[in-house]
Structure 1
């Protein structure tokens, strides 16, 4: 199995090292192509108005001066002329990607880019709280999550989003397959301050965002101490609304 690793925290991120250690227990053909610098919150953005550079950091190890989407796109076009990867793993993100976070997430978006290219993809994130859990849950449970998924035939334009709870490995309660939850971002914070030249600036934050722990969601699972495994699809069509909209345009 040929595996491509990427992330949105950058080529030198600790979570990428964790993911590489896991991947090497699945395959001896592991490649890395990740952003040169942190790109958290980049979403599914593609760099179009400036060039990106591919830098080599050793055997099968590269960085890209762009977004997570750029990294996957460039890797597939430039590094794998002979044979595409069989699997793309994105992460392990330092912080959860739950609910609507997925739409902002560079981690999830890198997996989306692989899925668009017809390659099975899994995004992995580690929740953090002030309890010193670090990546221990991912390190201990990662293979138990990845092995059943690695050889699974995924439907076209789908991916799997995995979130590990902020707990020591021995406190994790198990694995749940759940749906995506939802946040209330209307309460997200906005910090306003002044720079040394007296000009105002703004800093977006999500500290005050609320979420509803609906039953069967990724938010609930991680809150309850479980690893959340969520299948996602790239078809954003609201199929139930097609008929009602079509009636509005009927002759």
Structure 2
């Protein structure tokens, strides 16, 4: 019996992520800028957005013909993909975390481009979750904005965790003004970067305290921020686990459920 090919698609606010799996084996991962992907491969069919997956070259025509497809993300409900299954983001990310880590009991922290999700997983099942989607101040977009203010790359920003300055604004916009004020006070770049990373930790800690576990799995692009992970590990009281592919976790979760 031929093992089934499975495709997972996570249409995020910043990146569109794709995963091709056979059973539990990851065969291919890919990602494209979401807006560029829509512009190049999207078209309106009636009131729905249709995507030319074959034209994108991410998957072969044979793979698309054989594979079961599951979709999640911001664009999941506006996409017209014939035969595709649509699932919620939190379901996809929990499934991805389980697939990548093999854990059955953990707290999930997913930090995406524009929102943050925290879920508690017990015996392999999500029992509760909370989501911050009202403000991007605890997301990747916040880090992008702060890096732009500091005129550094995201990689440079993520390398500083020592002696952070205090940044207390809870709003991303006010946070920019506060950061500029601290720049004018002459603080060194390393402390300013560390302060930005610590601010992210401060914003997610109230969510994490609702769902204590022995293990904390961090997914999403922000999981690649080394300094934020270091600061969070010191504060959360849980063993932090970063899956091999944190940015593609939602797509992997979709594929695993296809």
TM-score w.r.t. length of structure 1: 0.28
Larger relative contact order, structure 1 or 2 (CA cutoff 8 Å, min sep 6) = 2
TM-score w.r.t. length of structure 2: 0.28
